[in-house]
Structure 1
Amino acid sequence: MTRSHVPCRQKPAAGARGRRTGGWLAPALGLAVLAAPVVARGQTLQEALAQTYANNPTLATARAQLRVVDENVPQALAGWRPTVSVSGSVGYGDGSYRQRSQTAFGQRIGVTTDVERTIGSVQATVTQPLYRGGRTVAATRRAENQVMAQRARLLATEQQVLQDAVTGYVNVIRFQEEVRLNLNNAQVLQRQLDATNERFRVGEITRTDVAQAESRLAGARASRADAEGQLQNSRAVFQRVIGAAPTRLTAPQPLSPAARTNQDAAQVAALNNPAVVAALFDEAAARDFVDVQIGALLPQASLQGQALRSDNQTLPGVRTTGEQIVATVTVPIYQGGAEYAVVRQARQDAARLRQVVDDQRRTASAQAVQAWETLQSTRATVDSVRAQIRASEIALDGVQREAVVGSRTTLDVLNAEQELLNARVSLVRALANVVTASHSLAQAVGRLTARDLRLPVALYDTEAYYKAVRDRWAGLGDYSAPQPVQQ
């Protein structure tokens, strides 16, 4: 009787990191790959992650959002810079004026004169802020902290996208192997049903044995159909996240644990998790916003220079020109109380964000501990299931031999085969869980980035756009041209 088997150990895929563990994961996850010719080179997990990093739209959206937040800095710095404006007017005037004059004979008469004129004026104004109550300094600090928080959010998005890619990649291999195992099981059960029918025709067994074999075959076909459906679903997820349909995938290796113990994982996550970092900068930006609002209660000082020219405003041929420089100081006394409410509101928001920091630290630590424990449990599951497979193979062989001499029934054989199949499917799932759990642990401690994974891809430069626009006084161009940094 033909039975499925667990293939021999494979070498790690080309390009795998030195930090990854040995090739103990490849045996079960690489079953589907063995059917391909040896000369054919499969797609590795690192290649899939590199493609995801370069093409995933969710990641591209997060990068664009960072560029949006980068523009907060030049907006804040504009508080130091002068404003220049030019205004002008042109028009037509028509009127008359009456003037009394005295003739040579001493008589006073009124003389009316019609006046038609073209009216025009132009004025240039330059205003230089001198002191804005400290709002420019506070707004700049706030904008800088917002940029840093958004960079942390970009890392969080990058980690989540790469984790989704790992899950999609591993699921395709997993369900490919489950389809293969269920297809092989259905073929074995079909041959066993044929043999059972022959024995029934010669009277060696009863109709019950045939019905049991038919039932198991129908169940095997249902399991195969379910696995095929799951495989198609995983292929769709793979294409959505990575951006291309899966072809021939190479069995991946798990990452080496990012922490020695669960306590170490919790401590690193509390400091390095991107969600924690983003919360810290959000809280700093909120404190700066308090200073921005307090600035509205402080004096304001500015220097204004004007140059003007006015033609024909009252009479034709009359031109007025002038220049002036004016220093203005404004001291707010009371504006209805709204400014005080805004300050109080900003302080409460900063207090809220301080609690968010603590919440994010606890969440990150809990996720890291959970990921670490999941990784340890899945590794232990792999060892246990492998022992179960060895025992199930021995048991199946013994049941088959005993069934030949009539000491075991058809149901005993079917049960032994099903137990072996279940164990092999469990091994495939456990090995897949080891890979995803190792990457989940890296994500929890903030180490599932393209830089940490050393992906063969040009890294996105988070500072390029910031540097391009920070000190720019004018310009409407698009400064988001790709400026990668190859590490």
Structure 2
Amino acid sequence: MSVATRIRRTGFALLAGAGIVSLSVGGAGAQSLDVALAQAYVNNPSLNSQRAGTRAVDETVPQALSGYRPTLAATASAGTEYGRADSGGQRTSGGLWPRAFALTATQTIFNGFVTANQTRNAESQVRGSRETLRNTEQTVMLNAVTAYMNVIQAIALLDLQRQSLAAFEQELRATRDRFNVGEVTRTDVAQAEARVADAQYQVSQAVANLSSARAVYRQVIGVEPGKLSTPPSIERVLPGSLDRVISTGLNHHPAVKASEFAVDAAMFQVKVAEGGLMPSLNVQGQLSQSYDQSFSVDAQGGAAVSLNLSVPIYQGGVEYANIRQAKELLSQARIEVDVNRDTIRAQAVQFWGALEAAKAQIQAAQAAVAANTLALEGVREEWRVGQRTTTDVLNAQRDLTNSQSALVVAQRDRVVAAYSLISIIGRLDAVALGLKVNVYNPVVHYNQVRDSWAGVRTPDGK
């Protein structure tokens, strides 16, 4: 059997022009990686949960804007009382049914710029939540790629272990036949039997690994895996050097962008806290009407407008503690930016190294597969003429299986490392990948609720 034939049987095919060996486990009609990513984009609960969280953060903007709007309050009271009055020697007594109604409107004129800074704080939180959503989307997409490739790898490894078991069983039958005619010893038979038993265990372990990979696939992507096809190379969209990967990641990775918006929000929160030391001014108007308040007056009404100024002098020190706390939180937010940048830089180096290592491993494994294939064929021929022992044949078969398995693992690692680098530069999302899905746009919900003055229903009708 030629090397090319053996490679095709174990599920490998060389991608022309791409320079990588693919793991082919499906033929016509097989599900592509893009389809799986689209399913994960729609079905993944973590991603859908983050979308809901982003919509919740959108509501902080109308909450802050409410500080610019007037407040209206209506009060009403009713009761009964017994009264007695003396006036000019005349005594009056009896029951009263006092009733009162009032409508009060209050408009803030100045509150130490608290409302303005709360609005800017909320808008920064919204921008940060969108970047957090993008980061979650990238994490889900990378998990989906990993789950997809793990299933392909598990299928290929299971196929290799089954072929290895079949080869060992064939060697066992041949060894027993030679033992029956006195050409080998009982020791040779026992060695072959041991290899068959070990190969049976390896098949069982591969089956368990495939079941686990399928379960994770279902968890991440939301459907059971069918026939999967080898994804095309995505390395062409990567920057040409590690330095460019790092610089692009530091400027565009959503985790870094989210932490930068968190700094903006923390800065405005400091100003909000400082507003607690400033005076506030509001205008208040009231309409009131009352009935049966006394024996002499049946009804009375009135209207009033007042301008109210409040100047804080000392409030127990809480306002100062709030300012100090906000400043420390601002310092923390700035440090988190550096933490995220260091993380991105370290991951870029890690994944770039993993990609280069996987490329080298593929080349080495391909050479090892070819050499071990020829070695196995030669050892078998020498064994037939008595120049090699049974152990030599069994070891050669095991070496071939190991090199084939190493090739499978290296292929999987190369694909995952490439997509990990795509994530580092901030392009592992539905738009950049060109997935055929209805792309979720968080701006739509924000525009729907930003200037809402009333209503308890969400835009989707809940």
TM-score by length of 1: 0.91
Partner of 2:34: 46
1:11 is displaced (CA, Å) by 6.6
Q: Would you say the 8 A contact 2:7–2:13 is kept in 1?
A: no
Q: Would you say the 8 A contact 2:234–2:418 is kept in 1?
A: yes
Q: Would you say the 8 A contact 2:283–2:307 is kept in 1?
A: yes
Partner of 1:380: 360
Q: Would you say the 8 A contact 2:20–2:411 is kept in 1?
A: no
1:425 is displaced (CA, Å) by 0.7
Partner of 1:445: 425
Distance 1:223 1:233 in 2: 15
Q: Which runs of 4+ in 1 moved over 4 A?
A: 1-4
**Which residue among 120, 131, 144 is the counterpart of 1:152?**
131
Partner of 2:13: 9
Partner of 2:247: 267
Q: How does 1:288-303 map to 2 (within 5 A)?
A: 288-303=268-283
- Give the secondary-structure state (helix, strand or coil) at the position aligned to 2:387: coil
- Give the secondary-structure state (helix, strand or coil) at the position aligned to 1:322: strand
Distance 1:423 1:143 in 2: 57
1:25 is displaced (CA, Å) by 3.3
Partner of 2:290: 310
**Which residue among 181, 194, 204 is the counterpart of 1:202?**
181
Partner AA of 1:281 in structure 2: F
- Give the secondary-structure state (helix, strand or coil) at the position aligned to 1:51: helix
Q: Would you say the 8 A contact 1:270–1:361 is kept in 2?
A: yes
- Give the secondary-structure state (helix, strand or coil) at the position aligned to 2:219: helix
1:400 aligns with 2:361: no
Partner of 1:105: none
Q: Would you say the 8 A contact 1:2–1:188 is kept in 2?
A: no
- Give the secondary-structure state (helix, strand or coil) at the position aligned to 1:479: coil
**Which residue among 114, 120, 125 is the counterpart of 1:141?**
120
Partner of 2:46: 58
1:408 is displaced (CA, Å) by 1.0
1:279 is displaced (CA, Å) by 0.7
Q: How does 1:74-223 map to 2 (within 5 A)?
A: 74-101=62-89, 111-223=90-202
- Give the secondary-structure state (helix, strand or coil) at the position aligned to 2:281: strand
Partner of 1:243: 222
Q: Would you say the 8 A contact 1:71–1:470 is kept in 2?
A: yes
1:118 is displaced (CA, Å) by 2.1
Partner AA of 2:60 in structure 1: N
Partner of 2:21: 25
Q: Would you say the 8 A contact 1:309–1:321 is kept in 2?
A: yes
1:99 is displaced (CA, Å) by 3.3
Partner AA of 2:376 in structure 1: L
Distance 1:359 1:481 in 2: 40
- Give the secondary-structure state (helix, strand or coil) at the position aligned to 1:336: coil
1:23 is displaced (CA, Å) by 7.1
Q: Would you say the 8 A contact 2:26–2:229 is kept in 1?
A: yes
- Give the secondary-structure state (helix, strand or coil) at the position aligned to 2:439: coil
Distance 1:2 1:438 in 2: 32
TM-score by length of 2: 0.95
Q: Would you say the 8 A contact 2:15–2:21 is kept in 1?
A: no
1:254 is displaced (CA, Å) by 3.5
Partner AA of 1:22 in structure 2: A
1:475 is displaced (CA, Å) by 0.7
Cα deviation code 1:29-65 (max 9, x no counterpart): 10x325xxxxx40111100110110111110100000
Q: Would you say the 8 A contact 2:279–2:310 is kept in 1?
A: yes
1:10 is displaced (CA, Å) by 6.7
1:317 is displaced (CA, Å) by 4.9
Query: CA RMSD for the aligned pairs?
Result: 1.8
**Structure 1 residues 223 and 2: CA distance shift in structure 2, 3 A:** farther
Partner AA of 1:79 in structure 2: G
Cα deviation code 1:412-451 (max 9, x no counterpart): 1111111111010111111011111111111122111111
Cα deviation code 1:135-170 (max 9, x no counterpart): 011101100111111111111111111111111111
Partner AA of 1:84 in structure 2: L
Distance 1:446 1:408 in 2: 56
Distance 1:168 1:374 in 2: 18
Q: Would you say the 8 A contact 2:279–2:309 is kept in 1?
A: yes
Q: Would you say the 8 A contact 1:276–1:357 is kept in 2?
A: yes
Partner AA of 1:72 in structure 2: T
Distance 2:19 2:352 in 1: 20
Q: Which runs of 5+ in 1 are unaligned?
A: 13-20, 35-39, 102-110, 483-487
1:316 is displaced (CA, Å) by 5.8
Distance 1:347 1:276 in 2: 21
1:264 is displaced (CA, Å) by 1.1
1:268 is displaced (CA, Å) by 1.1
Partner of 1:15: none
Distance 1:212 1:229 in 2: 26
Q: Would you say the 8 A contact 1:375–1:438 is kept in 2?
A: yes
**Structure 1 residues 403 and 481: CA distance shift in structure 2, 3 A:** farther
Distance 2:451 2:26 in 1: 54
- Give the secondary-structure state (helix, strand or coil) at the position aligned to 1:9: strand
Distance 2:14 2:39 in 1: 24
Partner AA of 1:250 in structure 2: S
Q: Would you say the 8 A contact 1:97–1:115 is kept in 2?
A: no
- Give the secondary-structure state (helix, strand or coil) at the position aligned to 2:93: strand
Partner of 1:107: none
Distance 2:143 2:368 in 1: 31
Aligned length: 457
